[in-house]
Structures are given as C-alpha cells and as structure tokens.
Amino acid sequence: MQALRALPSVDQVLLSAIGQELVERHGRALVVAAVRARLEAARATIREGVAGAELAADIPLLVAGDLARAARPKLRPVLNLTGTVLHTNLGRAILADAAIEAAMAAMANPLALEFDLDGGGRGQRDDHLRGLLCELTGAEDATVVNNNAAAVLIALNTLGQGREAIVSRGELIEIGGAFRMPDIMTRAGVRLHEVGTTNRTHPRDYEGAIGPETGLILKVHTSNYRIEGFTAEVPAPRLAQIARAAGVPLLNDLGSGSLVDLARFGLRREPTVAEAVAEGADLVTFSGDKLLGGPQAGFLVGRRDLIAAINRNPLKRAVRLDKIRIAALEATLRLYRDPDRLTERLPTLRHLARPQAEIAAQAARLAPRVDAALAPHGFRAGVCDCASQIGSGALPVDTIPSAGLRLTGAGGDAPDRLSARLRALPVPVIGHIHDGALILDLRCLDADEALIGALAAL
C-alpha cells in the first residue's frame, strides 16, 4: 500500500522541526506516545480506504494539536456571567488580594502553624483565627474545620452521639448534592426527633419533645427555600430559653452566615453571626466561602466548654484545615475589622454591591464590541436588564437588579449552540439561557477586556 508506506516513522516525526519543538515543550515520553497513537489511527483509516497519502504530511500538526489539548489544565478559570455571585459549581467566593498573598506566602515558606513563637513550644493551628473570630462574632471561643458540612457533622456528633437532636420539620433541609440533614444526623450517630409541621412549629412542640434522650436542639437556616403563607417558627431567642430551661445546648446552623449586615449594601437582612450568638445559641456554624468571601471552611463559634469538646473529638483531625486556607482565612477575617472598606477589598461584597447603573453602563460599552465579535459567527448582541442572585444559600428567592448582554441567533437552538461555543473557549464564558437568548449578566465582570479577550478566540 502506497499510502501506508508514505507514513513517517516515529523517529522521523521526532526529528522534524515541529517534533523537536514539541519534545522541548512536552517532554519526549508524551510526544512519542502521541505520535504512535496518531500513526496507528492513520494506518486504520488508510486500511478502511477513507484516506490516502496526504495523511502523512498532517501527522506532526495533528500530534501538536493533541498535545496542546492534553496540556490544557482541566481546572481553569472561567468568566462567571451567570448572574449568581456565589456559584457553588464555579467555586463560590473569589478571594481578596490580601488573602491570596497570605496563601502564597503559606505555600512557599515554613510558618508557625502549630508553633508558639512567644514561648517556643507547641501551639495550635486554630489559635491564628480564634481571636479574630471571637472579636467579630462576640463568641466566647471558636474553632474551624474543612467546610460547614463538617462543622455541622462534628457539632452533632460531639453534642448528641447516641442521643436525640430535636429539629423542626420545616428545617430538614437538603442543600445540593448529598447534604441532607437527616442523613448527616445518622452519620453523626444522632437520632432525629422531628417536631412541628412543614409550615408551623411552636414552642410547645420543642418543649414536649425534650426528655432524657435529648442531646441538643438544632435550628437550621432554610438557606435555599422559603416557606410562605400560614407559617410559624420559633425565633432563636425563644428557642434558646427553652434549651436553657431544659439544660440542653442549642446549635444554630446559619449556612451562609454573614459577618456584616447586608442592608449596608441594599440587600435584605440575613441574620449575622454576631446576632445568632447574641440570641443565645450555644454553638453557631457557618461557611467560609459563602457570604464571608473567603476560602472553603466551616466555622464553629460559641461556648468555650463546647468548643473544647469539639477540639477533643477525634473527628476534628479528619476535618481540620490546611495551612494555606488558614492563612487566607486570617487575612480575610482581618478585612472585616474595617467594614467601611469591605466592598473595595472583598470581591464577593464588591460584586454584590455593584449598582445596576454602573453595570448597565458597562453593558452599553460592551454591546457593540461583543456584537462585532459575534456577528461573523451568525449571532448578535444587545443590552438587557437582568436579575442577579447571591447564590450558595443566601436570600434564596431574592434577586438584585442587574444588567447584561442578550445574545441571539437564528433558529430555536441558537442559545444552546452559542452557549456550547462560549463554554469551549480557552477562557470559557458561562452565561444562562432565558427566554430564547443567552444572557451574560455583567455583575461579576471586573474588566471589559476580560470578556473581549475571551471572545477573540472564537
């Protein structure tokens, strides 16, 4: 077969100019494997009679393409233009510069993680955060674990193993994936004692459920839904009274748990962590990478004896934080000491606080440029108003007025086709489909050029 004989050998490809450049960039082992795979595929297509000798000349370029695709990191930055500021599937909070610098220093250097610089003896890794957390929340003591799911797990296990946790039927939440409160309880070794109904739970329901088997009362923030209409829940201060009278601890899982009043930024109030502490909860749990705007982490703040018991629980070691995130968290929490400048310094709050007029001006600036980039591919861009969401279980049904670009094309599948092409870019652009168009909400777009640069690769 003429065409088979025309194919180069592995060595010939390696010695070609392209081949040598590829070895320099990717290393010999990967290039040899990629050349072999391409040659094998070429032989198969020639035998099937679909291709001929022209394949031989293409081999080095095909290999170069294969290697470039394989070298592209799987986990790479995207532009979050979904309108959801804290998008769990896009990694939630973006860190402040101060937190990024602290994390880099922690990665590159030894640090006094569990070493007491004053006395020269052993220290605890939580010590770096305890003081700040107590100052910012008014709690007596604090500790920190891998994420809020772990915080809830270890709190339930420490306070209630082998006994019951009393929870309202209106608060038995499932939050994305496999985190369902009843399942976490089982794994924590705690028996669930449900009280009340889906829409109404009263003080007498809790009081009637308390008995010798009670380990704790649990209150859960209904992060991702809201029960409306004929409803009643027992407010945290009243629940704290009930718990205290019965001599059992009250655990309040806040979920997102903001450290500042969101009303400052024109949003509806969510209970702050300091309020939850002041309302008498014995332990409060919340996330590091939701409204707080830091890296993934779970905080437990509250009574000193309970925090000490949690730190003694063998599970603590299994869910502890690494030095990189402790460094980033310390820097993030420090920013909260100056609340007036938070929106300048914390990307999460900066994005949430951006006024619609500013975003609309950005959309007007970008629309003609995006339209020019898309027109050759059969799509058009115009400005639109849209509605952003906080995401990650904060104010689940509230939206924030925003603005963006409305991208359209011919045919009912145009939004899906365009969405797929933008996802396939080297810097993927993620929007959302609404009403027959692909919407790019610009609330989280810091720089115009980031979008223009990403679209240039179309």
CB of 180 to ligand PLP, least distance (A): 10
Residue count, binding to ligand PLP (CB under 6 A): 16
Q: Cα dist. 282→3, 35, 104, 240, 372 in Å?
A: 78, 64, 35, 8, 58
Instruction: Find the binder of ligand PLP among 149, 240, 291, 292 (CB under 6 A).
Output: 149
Closer residue to ligand PLP (CB): 94 or 220:
220
For residues 221 and 345, which CB has a smaller minimum distance to ligand PLP in the complex?
221
The reply on whether position 220 binds ligand PLP by CB under 6 A is yes
Q: Which stretch binds ligand PLP (CB under 6 A): 111-119, 216-224, 321-329, 400-408?
A: 216-224
User: Can you read off the two tokens belonging to residue 451?
Assistant: 């979008």
Residue nearest ligand PLP (C-beta atom): 255
Q: In the bound complex, what is the minimum distance in angstroms from residue 223's beta carbon to ligand PLP?
A: 3
Backbone torsions φ then ψ of 11, nearest 5 degrees: -60, -40
At closest approach, how far in Å is the CB of 268 from ligand PLP? 16
Q: How far is the CB of 113 from ligand PLP (least distance, A)?
A: 22
Q: Is 391 in the site for ligand PLP (CB under 6 A)?
A: no
Measured between its terminal Cα atoms, the distance across the chain in Å is 40
Binds ligand PLP by CB under 6 A, chosen from 38, 128, 193, 221: 221
> What residue type is assigned to position 400 of the chain?
I
Q: Which residues pair with 250 in a beta bridge?
A: 217
- The Cα angle at residue 297 between residues 296 and 301, in degrees rounded to 5: 155
Is 106 within 8 Å of 327 (Cβ atoms)? Answer: yes
Q: Do residues 273 and 148 touch, judged by C-beta distance below 8 A?
A: no
Q: If you ran DSSP here, which 8-state letter would residue 1 be given?
A: -
Told to check if 143 binds ligand PLP by CB under 6 A, we report no
Helix 323-335 with 127-137: angle, nearest 10 deg: 30
**Beta pairing class for 174-175 and 179-180:** antiparallel
What token pair was written down for 22? 């590829």
Our finding on whether 192 is near ligand PLP (CB under 6 A) is no
Instruction: Pick the binder of ligand PLP from 80, 148, 168, 419 (CB under 6 A).
Output: 148
Q: Which of the ranges 57-65, 108-116, 141-149, 404-412 carries the binding residues for ligand PLP, by CB under 6 A? A: 141-149
Single residue of 144, 152, 190, 329 touching ligand PLP by CB under 6 A: 152
Q: Kindly identify the residues of this chain, within the stretch 260-299, that bind ligand PLP according to CB under 6 A.
A: 287, 298
Q: Which of 85, 86, 159, 175 binds ligand PLP (CB under 6 A)?
A: 175
Measured from the CB atom, is 299 or 336 closer to ligand PLP? 299
- How far is residue 1 from each of residues 23, 55, 60, measured CA to CA in Å? 30, 14, 21
252 binds ligand PLP (CB under 6 A): no
Stretch of 1-9, 61-69, 143-151, 211-219 lying at the interface with ligand PLP (CB under 6 A) = 143-151
Tokens standing for 342? 């938070």
Q: Is 56 in the site for ligand PLP (CB under 6 A)?
A: no
Distances (CA, A) of 52 to 12, 14, 47, 48, 429: 19, 22, 9, 10, 39
Q: Cα torsion for 128, 158, 289, 132, to the nearest 10°?
A: -30
Residue 223 binds ligand PLP, judged by CB under 6 A: yes
Among positions 215, 393, 415, 431, the unique one binding ligand PLP when judged by CB under 6 A: 393
Closer CB to ligand PLP, 222 or 408, in the complex: 222
Residues 6+ apart with CB under 8 A from 158: 306, 309, 310, 313
Per-residue tokens: 300: 């437990």
| 201 binding ligand PLP? (CB under 6 A) | no
Helix (H, G, I), strand (E, B) or coil at 153: helix
The residue ranges that bind ligand PLP (CB under 6 A) are 147-149, 152, 173, 175, 179, 220-221, 223, 253, 255-256, 287, 298, 393
